[in-house]
Chain A
């Protein structure tokens, strides 16, 4: 079926990058629609080249199409040039697989990975011909669902989303499909939209915002109450116990046009227990579930053979921490030995010589740049954020990099962290200068690029109570760093726009009242806000003012222990008192070890769901916990270990 293609085709020679809209990827499924099947439209609210590689959507695309009662297609946000042409001609949003009208699907599944894409979500729903507010939708309209990391605080989108999925999607999509299938079979009886949503609200991990009412006392948000007895007061995230049961994607999509992360991606583990306090991903995806090494090897070998890619990335939140990483890497390199040259990439490199050692083993050929993320400029600051990298770890990593032929090193830092002083900011310059010095022993023009991002506190992290720095304060710190490095030969400083950081902050911890702001910004043309050239802070501040909301109150204010948070009705398994204690520990500059290899401190992620870490090998990675070479049991390590509760060890 070619659906809208005859109408879309004549427009494509008039728009930029038309290959975004043709589908035809290697590995694309052949969707067969039928009235008995639930038709899913998996959507990424950004351009094709950003959205296509999203592994979450690709996994669900396969799992759903494998089912006899479901069919799934994909769509991405059309760039504004095509959007204008579509609107001019009344052509709706379409799928890229068969160019079917979006409104002909039963359920949209949006992946939400970044707050600044929220206005694009509204725009896509509207472009589909569906009312943007869930209250205005009838039984004839698709259900609008969302998953992904941002859904741990979905409240700013509560008025627009029919349902929200927390956590791993692999299993829950089946349960949602079954409910929607039965509803469809019943003829979507008029007025029954509330009925199907209420059934969906019974599924573990599914949150239906319209089944709850928010209460306020003046400015204060005072809570969310469920409107029905059978709708849970607390929605828990879903977690797949064992990644080995889900060797997806089996047929990773190979786009015809260039996209980000354009290579084979094999997820080697999910979850992270390093406990970096700023990192939401590490908190909400616990516990660690490693894929068996044999499965990783076969997914790499099959994937390379099928796709024709010459690069594979072993993905996770911290791949060098995969137990048995050295053996795995050796196996992959050996297996590729006789064939064409294969590049194996680790998306995040550990800050030590061990990490560089692996990179050296992997990267034959051109050694352009290596990236490390010390995140903060002083040991004190790194204790606060629990990124326990010592200066000598960084220097040994940089020494290893330059001595092995790399000429450029990139260092990632956050600024605007809790308790941060100018000494911490200047510490970044100091580290960068010392790294250049180390490089000079090995290469004539060593280059160190410092990349600085403004810190945005996220829900379900110990920093969720922290009042983020103002735009002016972030800019002052960036300027301080620029001034300090101006005369440092070989050091370049790059930074993200602090203005965008403020808007991210508003949505990251916003409540339902922010929905009106998102809608106003969208109606005023504020789409693609994560694109620098399209981002406009005044659009947001004006909309906040229009709705009587105070940006300071949402972003720059420290929250108290007693305050009800807009996401308190959701759970990532983490005990709130664990997070609060970890916040106090942060302020006291007390670190917390990685619980994969040390006793459990009962954060709640395992114990609450009766699951455990699953590791591929009983041997911790070289360098021990946190990869810093530190022996956590000895006394010279400046890390305090809190007495643990129940012992749930690594299996």
Chain B
């Protein structure tokens, strides 16, 4: 049985790396006794598949993990109780919120996710100044950047990857983020735009403060949904402001 988990990564634990978190999951499977299937071979590893890696020190409300459970042992697993049970074996700040069974033939998270939404704290700038800076970026038809690929500089246009860019209303911005807060939807396919790349297209470049991934989204035939609930429509902006 393959299941998909959605979890948060908030607070101090955000300073752990993607790799660190993967190891925490492995230990949690062992201490919790969850019957996770393993790879074959000399050094068997649990069969788990992460979505897009989250940068060290970024927080997230929407991280995903696909997990293969052993059959037939999986039949005895209480999926409703699983988020609470397994969260107790994970570091403080990593909390599983939801779980669902997915089809083994479902596309992987990395293939399926098309964009992510972000809240990015921008210290040292007023909300009005940030609004006007955002206006410049959004009005641009192209946003050329140079990045390194296989050791060679390659020029690229970031504009198509910026799907949405706004400044959060200070009244509705999350209380734990200080100052002006950007809300961005950045594409992950065909090529991924990182928050740090977004900062660099501003003139002058912005410094990111606390960065929080809000959601990972799958856009399929014009409909947008989150990875856990196939087919379910999503209130994108409402969810972003709810925290």
Q: How far is the CA of A306 from the CA of B44 in the complex (A)?
A: 21
Enumerate A3-35 residues with CB–CB distance to B below 8 Å.
5, 9-10, 12-13, 18-19, 21-24, 26
* Cβ of A298 under 8 Å from chain B: no
- Flag if B26 contacts A22 (CB, 8 Å): no
Contacting pair B31 A306 (CB below 8 A): yes
Binds A, one of B8-16, B142-150, B159-167: B8-16
User: Are B44 and A341 in contact, CB atoms less than 8 angstroms apart?
Assistant: yes
Residues of A with C-beta under 8 A to B57 = 12-13, 18
One of B17-25, B73-81, B127-135, B214-222 at the interface = B17-25
> Which chain B residues lie closer than 8 Å to A21 at the CB level?
15
What are the interface flags for A273-308 relative to B under an 8 Å C-beta threshold, 1 for contact and 0 otherwise? 000000000000000000000000000000001111
Chain B nearest CB, measured from A465 CB (Å): 48
The chain A residue sitting closest to B92, CB to CB, is: A24
Determine if A552 is an interface residue (Cβ-Cβ < 8 Å): no
Chain B contact-residue range equals: 20 to 34
Q: How far is the CB of B34 from chain A (nearest CB, A)?
A: 11
**A18 and B42 contact, CB distance less than 8 A:** no
Residues of chain A within 8 A of B30, CB atoms compared? 308-310, 340
Pairwise interchain contact A365-B13, C-beta atoms closer than 8 A: no
Q: Which of B20, B27, B44, B91 contacts A307 (CB 8 A)?
A: B27
1/0 contact string of B40-60 vs chain A (CB within 8 Å): 001110000000000011000
Selected from B17, B29, B31, B44, the residue in CB contact (under 8 A) with A19 is B17
Smallest CB-CB separation from A16: which chain B residue? B56
Q: A24-B91, A256-B91, A366-B42 are in contact. Are A18 and B23 (CB under 8 A)?
A: no
Residues of A236-275 contacting chain B, CB below 8 A = 254, 256-258
Partner of B31, one of A23, A256, A305: A305
Contact B17 A307 (CB under 8 A): no
Contact residues in A for B23 (Cβ distance below 8 Å): 258
| A496 CB to nearest B CB, Å | 29
Could you give, for residues 359-371 of chain A, a 1 whenever the CB lies within 8 Å of some chain B CB and a 0 otherwise?
0000001100000
A638 to nearest B CB, angstroms? Answer: 42
> B206 near A: Cβ within 8 Å?
no
Q: Is A24 a contact of B13 with CB atoms below 8 Å? A: yes
Q: Is the C-beta of B3 less than 8 angstroms from some C-beta in chain A?
A: no
Closest-CB distance, B146 to chain A (whole angstroms): 24
Contact partners of A258 in chain B: CB under 8 A: 19-20, 23
Could you tell me the distance in whole angstroms from the C-beta of B30 to the nearest C-beta in chain A?
4
The distance in angstroms between the C-alpha atoms of A258 and B22, with both chains bound, is 11
B20 pairs with A309, CB closer than 8 A: no
A24-B92, A306-B31 given; A257·B43 CB < 8 A:
no
Closest residue of chain A to B44 (Cβ to Cβ) is A341
B199 at the interface (CB under 8 A from A): no
Do the beta carbons of B43 and A19 come within 8 Å of each other?
Answer: no
B28 contacts chain A at the CB level, 8 A cutoff: yes
> B15, B31, B89: which contacts A22 (Cβ < 8 A)?
B15
A576 to chain B, nearest CB (A): 49
Query: Within the assembled complex, what's the spacing in Å between the Cα atoms of A541 and B56?
Result: 41
> Does A366 contact B31, Cβ atoms closer than 8 Å?
no
Residues of A within 8 A of B29 (CB): 308
How far, in whole Å, are A416 and B16 apart by their CA atoms in the complex? 43
CA distance A5 to B15 in the complex (A): 13
Asked whether A22 and B12 contact (CB < 8 A) given A12-B57, A308-B26, A309-B27, the answer is yes
Give a binary string over A110-137; 1 marks a CB under 8 Å from any B CB, 0 the rest.
Answer: 0000000000000000000000000000
Contacts A19-B15, A307-B31; A365 near B43 (Cβ below 8 A)? yes
Is B28 within 8 A of A19, CB to CB? no
- Name B82-121 residues within 8 Å CB distance of A: 89, 91-92
When the two chains form their complex, are residues A19 and B20 in contact, meaning their CB atoms are under 8 A apart?
yes
Known A-B contacts A22-B15, A306-B31; the reply to A365 vs B42 at CB < 8 A is yes
Is B16 a contact partner of A256 (Cβ separation < 8 A)? yes
Name B's interface SS.
Answer: helix
Most buried by B among A5, A305, A340, A366: A340
- Which of B12, B19, B20 lies at the interface centre, i.e. has the most chain A CB atoms within 10 A of its CB? B12
Q: How far is the CB of A321 from chain B (nearest CB, A)?
A: 29
A13 to B17, CA, bound (A): 12
Docked Cα-Cα span, A23 to B16, in Å, equals 11
- Which residues in B have their C-beta under 8 angstroms from that of A341? 44
**CB closest residue in chain B, given A364:** B42
Q: Closest Cβ of chain B: how far from A641's Cβ, in Å?
A: 46
A19 CB, nearest partner CB in chain B, Å: 5
A28 to B237, CA, bound (A): 39
In the complex the two chains form, is A308's CB within 8 Å of B42's CB?
no
A26: B residues at CB distance < 8 A: 27, 91
Shortest beta-carbon distance from A514 to chain B in Å: 38
Residues of A within 8 A of B27 (CB): 26, 254, 307-309
User: In the complex, A309 Cα to B44 Cα: how many Å?
Assistant: 14
Q: With A19-B17, A22-B12 as given contacts, are A366 and B43 in contact (CB-CB < 8 Å)?
A: yes
A23 vs B89: C-alpha distance when bound (angstroms): 16
Given A256-B20, A256-B91, also A308-B15 (CB < 8 A): no
Q: Given the complex of chains A and B, what is the CA–CA distance between A159 and B105 in angstroms?
A: 69
What's the Cα separation between A633 and B100 when bound, in Å? 70
Pick from A257, A305, A307, A365: contact of B16, CB under 8 Å: A257
Distance in Å: Cβ of B130 to nearest Cβ of chain A = 19
CB distance from B86 to the nearest CB of A (A): 12
A342 to B, closest residue via Cβ: B30
Residues in B with CB closer than 8 Å to A309 are 27, 30
In the complex, the answer to whether B43 meets A256 with C-beta atoms within 8 Å is no
Contact digits for A156-176, partner B, Cβ 8 Å, 1 yes 0 no: 000000000000000000000
- Nearest residue, chain B, Cβ from A13: B57
CA A7 to CA B82, docked complex, whole Å? 36
| Assembled-state Cα–Cα distance A309/B30 (Å) | 8
Find the A residue at minimum CB distance from B208. Answer: A13
- Say how far B60's CB is from chain A's closest CB, in angstroms: 14
User: Which chain B residue lies CB-closest to A339?
Assistant: B30
Q: Provide the bound-state CA to CA distance between A631 and B89, in Å.
A: 52
Q: State whether A256 touches B24 (Cβ < 8 A).
A: yes
Q: How far is the CB of A253 from chain B (nearest CB, A)?
A: 13
Q: What CA separation (Å) do A407 and B1 show in the bound complex? A: 38
- Expressed in whole angstroms, the Cα–Cα distance for A548 and B103 within the complex equals 76
In whole angstroms, what is the CA distance A258 to B56 when docked? 14
5 more A-B residue pairs beyond the given contacts A257-B16, A307-B31, A308-B27, with a C-beta to C-beta distance below 8 A:
A12-B57, A19-B17, A308-B31, A309-B27, A365-B42
Interface residues of chain A, those whose CB is within 8 Å of chain B, are 5, 9-10, 12-13, 18-19, 21-24, 26, 254, 256-258, 305-310, 340-341, 365-366
Q: Which 10 A-B pairs have the closest CB atoms?
A: A308-B27, A366-B42, A18-B15, A13-B57, A308-B31, A308-B30, A365-B42, A22-B12, A19-B16, A257-B20
Q: List 23 A-B contacts (CB under 8 A).
A: A18-B56, A19-B56, A22-B12, A22-B15, A23-B12, A24-B12, A24-B13, A24-B91, A24-B92, A26-B27, A26-B91, A254-B27, A256-B91, A257-B16, A257-B17, A258-B23, A308-B27, A308-B28, A308-B29, A308-B89, A309-B27, A341-B44, A366-B42
